[in-house]
Amino acid sequence: MIRFAIYGKGGIGKSTIACNVSAALAARGLTVMQIGCDPKADSTSLLHDGERIPTVLQLTREKGNALQLDEIVRPGAGGVLCVEAGGPVPGLGCAGRGIINALETLSRLGAYEVYKPDVVIYDVLGDVVCGGFSMPMRGGYADRIFVVTSGEKMSVYAAANICMAVQNFQGRGYASLGGILLNRRGVPEEDAQAQALAEDFGTKILASVDRSSDIAQAERLAKPVSVVCPDSNAARQLDAAAQAILEVCGG
C-alpha cells in the first residue's frame, strides 16, 4: 500500500491538487482513498460535485460507538474513497484533535483492511505543523510527504516550515520528504524561489502546475480537471504530478 501526505499553506491549492491526483491514480485502475485533514472539511468536495460529506468528528459526536465504517467512507468521482476528518465546533476544542480522532477511528474500524486501498492520500493543512496536523507524518500513517507551494513569500515560508518538520521527524524513522509540487501563481521569479526551497532541503520540484482557466472552470463545476477538460494542458500537468508521486513512492 502506497501512503503519502500532501501538505501546504491554506489556500495554496493543495486540495485541488490532491483531488486531481486521486482522480488520475484512480484512472490508472488503482483503489484510492483520500483523507481530508483540514477542519474546513472540503478536501474531497471536487470528488463529490461540490458537496461536503459528513465528517468523522461530526458522526462520532452523533453516533459514538455505533458509528459504522460505511458512514465515514464515501465513494466519489472515479471511485475514490473519501473521508473528511472535520473539526470542532468553532471556538471550542482543538482542530488537530479531529485529525487524530479520524485516523484512530479509521484504524479501529479496519478501514484499510476492509477497502484494501492501493493508495492512501492524506490532504493536510500545513499552516501549523504540530499536534494533530503532524500526525500523518509522524504517526506511522504516511511514508512520504509532498509539499505544495507557489513562489509567494508566505507560501514558501510555510513550505519551508513543513519541510523542516519532516526532516526533524525523519530522524526518528517517520515519513520522509518526497518533493515539492509547484502550483504557479504567476509571481516574479517563481520557479527560482521554488528551486531554492527544494535545494535548501535536498529535494527537487517533482511537478509544476500552471495557473489555468481550465482549473478555474473545473473548480466552478466542482469536478476534477480530467473530467471537465481532459485534453487540456492542466490535465496533463496534474496527471504528470500523479505519475511523479507514484514513481517516488515506488509504485
In the set 40, 42, 118, 210, the catalytic residue is: 40
Residue 43 confidence (pLDDT) = 92
Question: Which stretches of the chain score pLDDT less than 70?
Answer: 88-95, 130-132, 171
Number of domains in the chain: 1
In the set 9, 143, 223, 239, the catalytic residue is: 9
3-class secondary structure, 123: strand
Residue 94 confidence (pLDDT) = 64
Residue 5 confidence (pLDDT) = 95
Annotation marks residue 210 as catalytic: no
Residue 64 confidence (pLDDT) = 87
Structural domain of residue 152, as residue ranges? 2-248
The DSSP symbol for 131 reads: G
Residue 173 confidence (pLDDT) = 72
pLDDT, one tens digit per residue, over 51-105 is 999 999 899 889 888 999 999 999 999 999 999 998 766 555 566 777 888 899 9
Strand ranges (DSSP E) for the chain?
A: 2-8, 32-37, 74-75, 81-84, 119-125, 144-149, 176-183, 205-209
3-class secondary structure, 231: coil
| CATH code for the domain in which residue 219 is found | 3.40.50.300
Annotation marks residue 127 as catalytic: yes
Exposed/middle/buried for 210, CB within 10 Å: 0-12, 13-18, 19+?
Answer: middle
Residue 98 confidence (pLDDT) = 77
Residue 95 confidence (pLDDT) = 63
Look up the pTM and report it. Answer: 0.93
In the set 42, 118, 127, 210, the catalytic residue is: 127
Annotation marks residue 14 as catalytic: yes
